Structure 1
Amino acid sequence: MNTKHAKYQRLIARCRDLAPTPTAVVYPCDRSSLEGALEAAELGLIEPILVGPRAQIEAVARTFGADISACRVVEAPYSAAAAAAAVQLVREGQAEALMKGCLHTDELMAAVVKRDAGLRTARRVSHCFVMDVPSYENALIITDAAVNIAPTLDEKADILQNAIDLAHVLQIEDVRVAILSAMETVSAKVPSTVEAAALCKMVDRHQITGARVDGPLALDNAISLEAARVKQIDSPVVGHANVLLVPDLEAGNLLAKSLSFLAEADAAGIVLGARVPIILTSRADSVTTRLASCAVATLVATAQRQGSKMLG
């Protein structure tokens, strides 16, 4: 693994003494998704249950010489059926995590949030990127960049609490959240600034717990002490943020991909708020990123098994 991603390597190392997490891998019908699951299994991060059409999965394995004889395969003829079957494995207690294969995220999430047969909890389901930015001292949690398109204030409260709980599972000692907007002042003309102020008041009233939270903050103030000094912003969060709550999915997606492609960052993806963690990977992910995503899911699943509040 590349030494520039030391933060991810530490995450993976933390899982060495943990039991592999039984993980339903949903429709691993291309090389990247199947190979990622097998690599994570080799490191002892997950125990993969391959859910999809057996003949197709075996054919994909043959294309790169992989041996899947030790893996359990649950037959499902197409992607939506695989998503439903994987969710059922969780409901039956046979799997403690889900891992996305080569199906669309919305197809997987539709099965997860299905009202009667899904994996809903009292908490809103939301996505987090755990980003390893080489030039930044802290791991960065960015939320939500994949599930909630335009979250309401109430939904943002759940998204924020999910991210804070994740930070504690990752053993971030001092969780500092910046609620991002385009400016630092509250203006009715920019709704995200008003919602940021409301979220901060919810923290004051202990409706959201476990972190120091400030906002609205522009990105530069969240991560640069010098930028905050110039603007005379006095806050324990500025310059030291390790959680960034974005206004909406578009902002989160743009921020994460900008860091990935312009700052050589890796982005491990995880969905929280369901009964089990859900590993979201992309075909563009590096091996290290795929393994880090599985490591994060293993840490979350272990925390849930030990009675953490991550279930919502």
Structure 2
Amino acid sequence: MVIPYLIGDEEAIKKHLSEITIKNASYIIVHAETDTEAAFKGIQLAKEGQVEFIMKGDLQTGTLLKEVVNHETGIRKQKVLSHLALIEVPAYPKLIGVTDGGMVLTPDIEQKKAIIKNASEVMQALGYQKAKFAVLSAAEVVQPKLPASVDAAELTKEFSHAPDMIVEGPISLDIALSPEAAGEKRYQGKIQGDTDVLVAPDIVSGNALSKSMTLLAGGKMAGIIVGAEVPIILTSRSSSAAEKRNSLLLALKVSQGANKKGVSE
């Protein structure tokens, strides 16, 4: 059972609640005069362990993130905040992750390392023992004039001895997702069309990749921001009710999985 904290103008919240019918609903209203105050109070609830995740409502994304990364009162845990989408696509036999299509514009090599680490923490919280990360490029060879391929090779080397993930690249999308393509191209890597997470070279390709899966391939998506003390949901204005619900469920599952992992350690 989820009991939400609804943070904002109390009268406005009550008015909205009166316009919808929810049987046996449980919720807590926290009054805030401004969007900045609402964001601050939400972050403080997370710091105090009162909430397991945060979902952006009717306020600017920048207003919320400014409070998240505040050096004195924020909840940023890692150097980089990144977005991870998990998508169920009919043509693929399991969930496929895409990162980062929502936060870091053009990540450098250090930011890409952080993005992979963030996503790995999520996959572990979901129960993956050794998730496979495909670092995407146009082909499987390093091309000095193609920075994405150079970065992919360095990331493969960086995580080559990681016990909780397999990171491989440069790798093309077809080999990452199709065993047949991997066989036809005689690809010798550990990933043979069975990737768990696609690592995009920049936000444009990551965003386009995840949205094409939902718009053209019938995919169902959930997405969260990771790298903070709790998962953060920042769905776009065009997100469907189903995507928002899926993101809520993902955030809850990740939070609960992370808590269990912390207790066991």
Question: Which whole-Å CA distance do the structure 2 matches of 1:203 and 1:69 have between them?
Answer: 46
Of residues 188, 208, 233, the one that matches 2:187 is 233
Of residues 14, 18, 28, the one that matches 1:58 is 14
Question: Which whole-Å CA distance do the structure 2 matches of 1:162 and 1:154 have between them?
Answer: 12
Counterpart amino acid of residue 161 in structure 1: K
Aligned residues: 263
Of residues 121, 126, 134, the one that matches 2:77 is 121
CA distance 1:172–1:88, shift in 2 (3 Å)? same
Counterpart amino acid of residue 290 in structure 1: K
Name the SS for the 1:308 alignment partner.
Answer: helix
The 4+ residue runs of structure 1 with deviation greater than 6 A are none
Structure 1 match to 2:127: 171
Residues 1:282 and 2:236 aligned together: yes
Deviates more, 1:186-195 or 1:75-84: 75-84
Counterpart amino acid of residue 62 in structure 1: S
Structure 2 match to 1:76: 32
| RMSD between superposed Cα atoms in Å | 2.1
Kindly report which structure 2 residues correspond to 1:259-270, keeping only aligned pairs within 5 A, or say none: 259-270=213-224
Kindly report which structure 2 residues correspond to 1:5-154, keeping only aligned pairs within 5 A, or say none: 44=1, 46-66=2-22, 70-154=26-110
Structure 2 match to 1:251: 205
Question: Which whole-Å CA distance do the structure 2 matches of 1:51 and 1:165 have between them?
Answer: 28
The answer (yes or no) to whether the contact 1:145–1:250 under 8 Å persists in 2 is yes
The answer (yes or no) to whether the contact 2:125–2:261 under 8 Å persists in 1 is no
Residues 1:293 and 2:242 aligned together: no
User: How far does the alpha carbon of each residue in 1:150-181 deviate from its partner, in whole angstroms, 9 at most, with x for none?
Assistant: 11111111110111221222223551110011
Displacement after TM superposition at 1:218 (Å): 1.4
Unpaired segments of 5 or more residues in structure 1? Answer: 1-43
The answer (yes or no) to whether the contact 1:58–1:68 under 8 Å persists in 2 is no
Question: Which whole-Å CA distance do the structure 1 matches of 2:65 and 2:117 have between them?
Answer: 20
Question: Which whole-Å CA distance do the structure 2 matches of 1:151 and 1:224 have between them?
Answer: 27
Name the SS for the 2:4 alignment partner.
Answer: strand
CA distance 1:69–1:303, shift in 2 (3 Å)? closer
The answer (yes or no) to whether the contact 1:165–1:210 under 8 Å persists in 2 is no
Residues 1:194 and 2:157 aligned together: no
Residues 1:158 and 2:117 aligned together: no
Q: TM-score, normalised to structure 1's length?
A: 0.78
Of residues 143, 158, 181, the one that matches 2:137 is 181
Name the SS for the 2:97 alignment partner.
Answer: strand
User: How far does the alpha carbon of each residue in 1:36-74 deviate from its partner, in whole angstroms, 9 at most, with x for none?
Assistant: xxxxxxxx2x32000111122222223333479741111
Q: TM-score, normalised to structure 2's length?
A: 0.91
Deviates more, 1:216-225 or 1:119-128: 119-128
Question: Which whole-Å CA distance do the structure 2 matches of 1:115 and 1:68 have between them?
Answer: 39
Counterpart amino acid of residue 102 in structure 1: D
Question: Which whole-Å CA distance do the structure 2 matches of 1:108 and 1:102 have between them?
Answer: 10
The answer (yes or no) to whether the contact 1:61–1:67 under 8 Å persists in 2 is no
Question: Which whole-Å CA distance do the structure 1 matches of 2:4 and 2:254 have between them?
Answer: 17
User: How far does the alpha carbon of each residue in 1:196-228 deviate from its partner, in whole angstroms, 9 at most, with x for none?
Assistant: 100100112x4x541122101111111012222
Question: Which whole-Å CA distance do the structure 2 matches of 1:123 and 1:300 have between them?
Answer: 19
Query: % of aligned pairs identical?
Result: 35
Of residues 216, 226, 251, the one that matches 1:272 is 226
